[in-house]
Chain A
Amino acid sequence: AQSVSQHNHHVILSEAASLELGCNYSYGGTVNLFWYVQYPGQHLQLLLKYFSGDPLVKGIKGFEAEFIKSKFSFNLRKPSVQWSDTAEYFCAVNAPRSSNTGKLIFGQGTTLQVKP
């Protein structure tokens, strides 16, 4: 069965610190990969996604993620966090179109707290 694992459940950083959130998935075939963010009291928003091509993808608000196929990983990074990045971050996968039932499999989520 497909699964997604996020290693850090709660991360606390000071402003301007660098961020890396880990995400590993288990799936035997090709997957689509996503990072969603949920700001306090708001709905999920897409940060970035990877379907194919360049394994380093850039998203909104200065976030980027690198797909490493050999490690089944899709880690999220940001060089310098801001207080406004305080939120919960979810890694997710779904199957490519040929077998896509639409289901997203989510990781457990990582709560990021940025101290001013």
Chain B
Amino acid sequence: EAQVTQNPRYLITVTGKKLTVTCSQNMNHEYMSWYRQDPGLGLRQIYYSMNVEVTDKGDVPEGYKVSRKEKRNFPLILESPSPNQTSLYFCASSPRLAGGYFQETQYFGPGTRLLVL
């Protein structure tokens, strides 16, 4: 089944304790992205990647890192989490189409709910 998976789905941690949220897609998509969802703010893009070893900042990158060593995986790293990073995180992916552009419709993972105490 074509899908985007995230792990863990729920995480409670403490301030300053490094954590990684994994994202994996089995659709061979070039484009992957991380969003955070906060009440009243919708979803905001954190980082995105257009291909292996190609990453760039979104709108709210502070406090986050990403890496794209393999096409299928795009982990989100919080080196020193803080309470303001308590949020619901979504990973998304889309393929590159003929002509080099990315498909406009993105596929979303199930979300990771993070609580930083």
B residues 58-117 in Cβ contact with A at 8 Å: 58-59, 90, 92, 94, 97, 99, 101-102, 104-106, 108-111
Contact B42 A103 (CB under 8 A): no
Contact B43 A102 (CB under 8 A): no
Contact A102 B111 (CB under 8 A): no
Candidates A6, A46, A90; contact of B43 at CB < 8 Å: A90
Is A9 an interface residue when CB atoms closer than 8 A count as contact? yes
How many chain A residues have a CB neighbour from B under 8 Å?
A: 28
Candidates B31, B59, B110; contact of A102 at CB < 8 Å: B31
Residue of A nearest to B106 (CB): A104
Residue of A nearest to B33 (CB): A102
Mark interface residues in B4-45 (1 if CB within 8 Å of A CB, else 0): 000000000000000000000000000101010100111111
Q: Which 5 A-B pairs have the closest CB atoms?
A: A97-B101, A106-B42, A44-B108, A106-B43, A43-B110
